[in-house]
Structure 1
Amino acid sequence: MTRSFSLFLIIVACFFQLNAQQKLSTKASISVVTCGPGTDLYTAFGHSAFRVFDPSLGIDKVYNYGTFDFNAPNFYLNFAKGNLTYFLATGNFNRFLRIYQYENRWVKTQVLNLSNEDVQAMYLFLEENAKPENRNYQYDFFYDNCSTKIEAVVTAVLKDKIQFSNKHITTQKTHRDLIYDYTKDFKWGKFGIDLALGAVIDDEASKNDYKFLPDYIFEAFEQATIQKEGVIEPLVQNEYLIIKEKPIANSTKLLTPFNVILLFSLLIVYKTYKNFQLKKRSKWLDFLLFLTTGIIGILVLLLWFATTHTATYQNFNFLWAFAPNIVIAFYLLKTNTPKWLHYYLILNILLLITMVICWLLKIQIFNLALLPLIVALALRYVYLMQVIKLKK
C-alpha cells in the first residue's frame, strides 16, 4: 500500500513537471494586462501583469509581479527600511478579473503579435520565473515594479526582435509631477508622499522613467514594433477592454491637509497675538510645536539616512521640521529659558528662509499645505526671540 502510494506521488509529480514544461498549442497567446487605478492610495497608480491564454489546453493564467506577503518575517520593519521583497505570483485569470470588477477598476489586454515559438518562449520564461527559488525580487517603486517588469521580461525573451520607441511621451515631467497626476484625489496620501520623498524626485524623468506607471507601459506597447521574418510589424496585435469601470461621483472633502494645517496655523497666529497682548507666553503651545516638528524631522532624516529607499534621499523637509526641536521643546516648558535659545531661533528662521529659496528655485517642491505653517512658524519664532531678548 505504501509503495503504491509512493508510486502515485511520483506519477503526480512527473505530471505537474511535464505540465509546467508543456508545449502550448498554436492557438496560445501572450497578453499584457493593464488595470486602472482604484479608490485606495496603494491602487492609485494602476497595475500591470501578463496573461497566458491557450483555449485548446484550457490554460488561462495571470502572471503578477506586484505581489508581496504581509506575513513575511519582519515585514513592516523591512518595508520601512526599504528592503521590499515582491514576487511573481500566478493564478486563474478569471479570478484575477473578479477582484478588479469588485473594485470597479477597468482592465485592458493587449494581445502580443508573437510567433508560436515566441509565445512558447515567453510561457517557459514566466513559468521558470514563477518557481519559488526564482520568483522573489527587490522592489523599487520607480525602477523595479509590476509595470517595469513587463518590458523587462519581454526584452529578456525577445531581445533584439522588439523595439520600443517611446514616441508617446511628449511631456517633460519630474517623478513628483507623475505621482501628482495619480494622487490628485488622495490629498493626505499626496501630503505624506511629499513629506517622505526628497529632492531626487524633482529631477526631470527620462522617457524610460515614465514606465513605472502602467498607463505608460500600455502606451509603450502600443508604439512598439517586432521583427517577424525580416518584416517590422506592430508588437500589439489586438486590444480589448475587458472590464469597464462605472463612473462614481467625487465627494468634496473638507478635512484636507491644507485646510487642517491652515486652521492649526491660524491658531498659532492667534495665540501669538494674544501672548503679545497679554505679555504671557503659551508654554504648552511652544512645547507641542517644537516636539511635533522635531519628531517629523527625525522621521525625515531616518528615511534619508537609515533606509535603502532611493526616493527619500536629499529630503529638505528637515529645514522646517528641524530634528533638534525635540530637545528644545523641553527647554520651552520652563519659564526662564536659556539665553542661547535666542540664537537657536535665529537658526530656525534662517532654515525657513533656505526652505523657501529651495522651493522657489525648484530644488525641491514642497506640499502647498505647508505654506501657512511656514508663515505661522516664522511669526512664532520671531515672537519667541523678542520674549527671550527682553529677559536678557
Structure 2
Amino acid sequence: MMHIVKIILITLFLASTHTLRAAQEEETPQAPVDSIRLSLLTCAPGEEIYSLFGHTAIRYENPARGIDAVFNYGMFSFNTPNFILRFALGQTDYELGVSNYERFASEYSYYGRSVWQQNLNLTPQEKQKLVALLEANYQPQNRVYRYNFFYDNCATRPRDIIEESVAGKVIYAADPADANQTRSFRDIVHQYTQGHPWAQFGIDLCIGSEADRPIDDRQTMFAPFYLMNFFSTAHIAENSRSRSLITDTEKIVDCEKWLATQESEIEKEPYLPTPLQVALALFMLTAGATIYGLKKKKGLWGIDLVLFGTAGIAGCILAFLALFSEHPAVTSNYLLLVFHPGQLFCLPFIIHAVRKKKRSWYHLFNFIVLTFFILLFPLIPQRFDLAVVPLALCLLIRSASNLILTYKHKK
C-alpha cells in the first residue's frame, strides 16, 4: 500500500512540475511583447520650406532586446539625380529610414523643434503585427515609395500602418468646434506658412483649384499636427468593445525656451518686404512709367520686355506643372489666365509692335482676358494670393497703353 501511495505522489509531483514548466515556456515569449512600447511621434515645424508642416514618425521600444528605434517615412536626398525636375513632375521618391531614438531626439533638440509622443494602446498581438509590418516595410525592396504631399506622405504612412495593425477599426472623433467648418488643402497650407509669405506665395502660384475644394477629416491628416489631434481622441472598435487608441501624450523634446530666444533673434533680422508689397511697388512704378509714356507718346518697349518676359517664364512653369506633373493639386490652375507661355512666345511680336507703333492683336486679347479676370476675381473657384492682382494690373495697363498709343497714331 505504501508503494502505491509513493507512486501516486511521485506521479503528481512530476505532473505538476511539467505543467509549471509548460506554463513558464508559454509566458516567456509573451513577456518581451508586454514590455514593448510603440508610439506616434509628432515633431514641430522647422524653418526650411520642406519642414514647415512638421513631421511624423513611429517609435519602437523593446527593452528586452535593447531596442529604441524611430521609423521615419520622411527620408529623401537632394543629391538624387534630377531631384528638382522629379519633384516638379511629382515623381519624388521618399523612403523609410530607421535611426536610434537618442540621435533622432538630439537632432530635433539641436534645431529647436519640440517632439510629442503619443503611446499607442495596442494588444500584444497588435504590437507584434505592427513591428512585423514596420520591419517588412524596411526591407530594401519595400522601403522606397512615391511621395505625394497631400495624399501619401510621412504622416499618412504611419497612420495607415497603425490602422492595418489593429484587430478592430480605428474610429476618429470629429472636433465639435469644427462641426460646421470646412477646410481645404490650401487652408491648411496657409495655416502652416504663416510668417513665411514668400513660401506661401510660391505654393499658391503652383497649386490650382483642386487645392480649394473641401476635404474630409481623413484628408486633413496629411498634416502631422492634424493627425496628432485626431489620434488623441480616436478609439479602436472591436466587436462590441472599444478602447482608446492613445493611452497618454507627453512632450519628450521641449524647445520652448530655445524658440523664445530664436524669436528675439528673428526680430533683429533686416526687414524683408512681402510679395504684396513688392507687387504694389511694381504696379506703381509701371503705372507711373506708363503715364509718362502716354504723355510723351512713347511705347517704352523695355518695360514690356521685362514684364511680359517674366510673366511668360512663370506661365511656362505653371503650364508644365498642369500638363505633366503627377501632383493632383497643380492641375486646373486659373492663374494661367494671367501667366501663360503665350506671353513669352509672342514676346518678339509684342516688342516689334511697340517699337513700330503698330496695333498688336495680342495686346487686345490680353486686355480683354485680364479685364475679365480682375472683374470676376471673387467668383473664380480658386483662391489667389492678393499679390496677383497688382501683377495682373501691370500687364493690363501695358496692353492698354499699346492700344491707346496705336489708336492715336492711326488717327
Alignment-mate amino acid for residue 201 of structure 1 = A
Structure 1 residues 256-315: Cα deviation after superposition (integer angstroms, max 9, x where no partner): 111212211111011001111212221111111111111111111101002111111001
- Asked whether 1:273 is paired with 2:281, we answer no
Worse-matched range after superposition: 275-284 or 193-202: 275-284
**TM-superposition CA deviations, 1:97-129 (whole Å, max 9, x none):** 111111111100000111122111111110111
Matched, 1:372 2:390: yes
| Cα distance change of structure 1 residues 24 and 368 upon mapping to structure 2, 3 Å threshold | farther
- Corresponding residue of 2:223: 213
**SS across alignment from 1:355:** helix
Provide the secondary structure at the position in 2 that maps to 1:333. helix
Report the equivalent of 1:151. 159
AA partner of residue 333 (structure 1): I
Cα drift, residue 153 of structure 1? 0.6
Q: Distance in 1 between matches of 2:167 and 2:102?
A: 30
Equivalent position SS for 2:41: strand
SS of equivalent to 1:365: coil
CA drift of 1:166 comes to 3.5
Cα distance in 1 for partners of 2:280, 2:167 equals 54
CA distance in 1, matches of 2:331, 2:210: 6
Q: Percent identity?
A: 31
Q: Which amino acid aligns with 1:111?
A: N
- Max radius of gyration: which structure? 2
Structure 2 SS opposite 1:110: strand
Query: Which residue is equivalent to 2:277?
Result: 259
* 1:337 to partner: Cα distance: 4.8
Q: 1: distance between equivalents of 2:328 and 2:31?
A: 41
TM (normalized to structure 1)?
0.89
Could you tell me which residue of structure 2 aligns to residue 97 of structure 1? 105
d(CA) in 2 for partners of 1:362, 1:84: 31
Residues paired across the two proteins, number: 370
CA contact (8 A) 2:319 2:340 kept: no
Shift in CA distance, 34/313, structure 1 to aligned 2, threshold 3 Å: same
Q: Displacement, 1:23?
A: 9.1
Cα distance change, pair 290–162 in 1 and its aligned pair in 2 (3 A): closer
- Separation (CA, whole Å) in 1 of partners of 2:311 and 2:82: 28
Aligned residues: CA RMSD: 2.1
Mean Cα deviation higher: 261-270 or 161-170: 161-170
Q: Gapped runs of 5+ residues in structure 1?
A: 1-21
1:354 shift after superposition: 3.4
Once the two structures are TM-superposed, the CA of residue 41 in structure 1 deviates from its matched residue by 1.6
The Cα of 1:160 is off from its aligned counterpart by 2.6
Report how far residue 362 of structure 1 moved. 4.5
- Does the 8 A contact of 2:338 with 2:392 survive in 1? yes
Residues in 1 aligned to 2:398 and 2:213: alpha-carbon distance in whole angstroms: 33
Matched, 1:173 2:183: yes
- Between Structure 1 and Structure 2, the one with more helix by share is 2
C-alpha distance in 2 between matches for 1:75 and 1:349: 38
Superposed displacement of residue 161, structure 1: 4.0
Structure 1 match to 2:116: 108
Shift of 1:329: 2.3
245-254 or 216-225, which deviates more: 245-254
**1:13 aligns to what?**
none
Q: Which SS does the other structure have where 1:56 is aligned?
A: helix
- After superposing the two structures, state which structure 1 stretch, 369-378 or 36-45, moved more: 369-378
Aligned amino acid, residue 48 of structure 1:
T
Show CA shifts across 1:25-77 (max 9, x none): 42111100000111222111000010001223211000001111333333232
Which residue identity lines up with residue 217 of structure 1 in the other structure? L
Equivalent position SS for 2:106: helix
Q: 1:71 and 1:286 mapped to 2: Cα distance?
A: 38
Matched, 1:134 2:154: no
Structure 1 residues 330 and 136: CA distance shift in structure 2, 3 A:
same
| 1:64/1:267 CA distance change after superposition, 3 Å | same
Report SS of the residue matched to 1:89.
strand
Q: Which moved further from structure 2: 65-74 or 47-56? A: 65-74
Contact 2:357 2:405 in 1 (8 A): no
Residues 333-369 of structure 1 show CA distances to partners (whole Å, capped at 9, x for unaligned) of 3321543x1x322211222133235530241111111
CA contact (8 A) 2:322 2:331 kept: yes
The verdict on how the C-alpha distance between 1:324 and 1:27 changes in structure 2, with shifts beyond 3 A counting, is same
Secondary structure of the residue aligned to 2:328 is coil
Structure 1 letter corresponding to 2:230 = A
Secondary structure of the corresponding residue to residue 50 of structure 1: strand
Q: Does structure 2 retain, via aligned residues, the 8 Å contact 1:359–1:365? A: no
Q: One-letter code of the match for 2:327?
A: H
Distance 2:253 2:106 in 1: 10
Match of 1:35 in 2: 43
Please identify, of 280-289 and 252-261, the stretch whose mean Cα deviation from structure 2 is larger. Answer: 252-261
2:73 to 65, 76, 99: 65
